[in-house]
């Protein structure tokens, strides 16, 4: 009797449609595509539009991905159309006694004393054990967010590039006080629902992985494997942003830089020479990826046009 190995699931790229994708985001998308395709996974696109949305940004982002040769499987999923899935997950957590109402503003959380060894911004548990009278008073003042009642301070995940990584788990937000699902909940529910078992994204999100994996375990969902890749930064070592000049395909087009040239530049930053994503598959080796940030300068953008 022979047993067959189940096929791998899917990888994904999930941008927020707040503006055009810059070179760093496109490079992360390229890496997510390479990780997925090199392991015979499907590659999915998800628009994470629960927060800031600039009209037309999602369509431009998809066009830019196509322009550098990235394809994807199936229809593009939009988080704004998946509220019922998030509500069901919150219901399950509530019935298990894993949620509570929180009335803290961002400023109050920022200024509250933190627990020892907790990172900046970790929730200190201010509203965790409010009395019935205090709950009633707070409800009359402002709408409540919903937080997870965590029973651990930390959780460990395995990352392809970073190895074993243990991160802080706090009482993370599940639903904002406007009733919209919070980022960590939506990501966990979406990845599981879409069969995504490989998450490749910027290493600024590495600290979120333990929170998300822990939340997945409470919901009885499988956690994906992770690969958090180095970011693109400016000459000062700061995360790349619009103020840094010619960093989007639209910017580069004004300098005469074509999408294929931008892709070649991204490839060189990864130590590869192919000029299309398919060509890069032949060279791709996750073990040989750079571990340092990619420094992107306006001068280099101008030189790419020459």
Would you list which residues are annotated within the binding site for L-glutamate? 12-16, 48, 183, 201
C-alpha–C-alpha distance, residues 262 and 256, integer Å: 11
CA 34 to chain centre: 17
Integer Cα distance of 82 and 85 in angstroms: 6
How many angstroms separate the CA atoms of 80 and 51, rounded?
9
Complete edge-to-edge strand list for the sheet that includes strand 145-148:
99-102, 145-148, 173-175
- Which of 242, 254, 260, 288 is labelled catalytic? 242
CA distances (Å), origin 151, targets 98, 126, 154: 9, 15, 9
Q: H/E element holding 159?
A: strand 154-159
Instruction: Report the distance separating Cα 113 and Cα 120, nearest Å.
Output: 10
Tokens for 124? 């200190």
Element (DSSP H or E) covering residue 253: helix 249-254
Q: How many CA atoms lie within 13 A of 123 on its CB side?
A: 24
H helices, E strands: number in the chain: 11, 12
Binding residues: 12-16, 48, 102, 104, 123, 127, 183, 201, 242
Binding site membership for ATP: which residues? 242
Q: Residue 297 and residue 243: Cα distance in Å, rounded?
A: 11
CB-based contacts of 190: which residues, under 8 Å, 6+ apart? Answer: 14, 46, 77, 79, 82, 85, 196
b/e per residue 220-248 (b: at least 16 CB within 10 A): ebebbbbbbbbbbbbeeeeebeeebbbbb
258 is catalytic: no
What's the alpha-carbon Rg for the chain, to the nearest Å? 21
Enumerate the known binding-site residues for Zn(2+). Answer: 102, 104, 123, 127
Q: Which of 68, 60, 1 is nearest to 34 (CA)?
A: 68
Query: Which residues are marked as active site?
Result: 242
């Amino acid at each position: 009797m022979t047993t067959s190995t189940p096929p791998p699931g899917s990888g994904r790229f999930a941008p927020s449609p707040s503006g055009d994708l810059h070179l760093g985001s496109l490079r992360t998308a390229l890496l997510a595509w390479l990780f997925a395709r090199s392991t015979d996974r499907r590659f999915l696109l998800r628009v994470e539009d629960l927060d800031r949305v600039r009209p037309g940004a999602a369509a431009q982002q998809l066009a830019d991905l196509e322009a550098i040769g990235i394809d994807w499987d199936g229809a593009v999923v939009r988080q704004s159309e998946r509220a019922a899935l998030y509500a069901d997950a919150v219901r399950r957590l509530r019935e298990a006694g894993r949620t509570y109402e929180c009335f803290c503003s961002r400023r109050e959380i920022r200024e509250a004393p933190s627990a020892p060894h907790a990172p900046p911004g970790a929730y200190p548990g201010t509203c965790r054990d409010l009395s019935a009278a205090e709950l009633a008073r707070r409800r009359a003042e402002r709408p409540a967010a919903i937080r997870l009642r965590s029973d651990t301070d930390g959780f460990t995940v395995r990352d392809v590039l970073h190895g074993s990584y243990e991160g802080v788990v706090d009482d993370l937000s599940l639903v904002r006080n406007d009733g919209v699902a919070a980022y960590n909940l939506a990501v966990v529910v979406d990845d599981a629902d879409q069969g995504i078992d490989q998450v490749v994204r910027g290493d600024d999100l590495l600290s979120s992985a333990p929170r998300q994996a822990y939340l997945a375990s409470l919901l009885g969902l499988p956690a994906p494997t992770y690969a958090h890749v180095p970011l693109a930064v400016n000459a000062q070592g700061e995360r790349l942003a619009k103020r840094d000049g010619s960093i989007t395909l639209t910017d580069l087009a004004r300098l005469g830089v074509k999408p294929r040239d931008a892709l070649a530049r991204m490839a060189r930053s990864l130590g590869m020479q192919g000029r299309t994503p398919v060509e890069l598959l032949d060279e791709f080796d996750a073990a040989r990826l750079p571990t340092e940030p990619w420094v992107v300068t306006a001068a280099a953008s101008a030189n790419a046009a020459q």
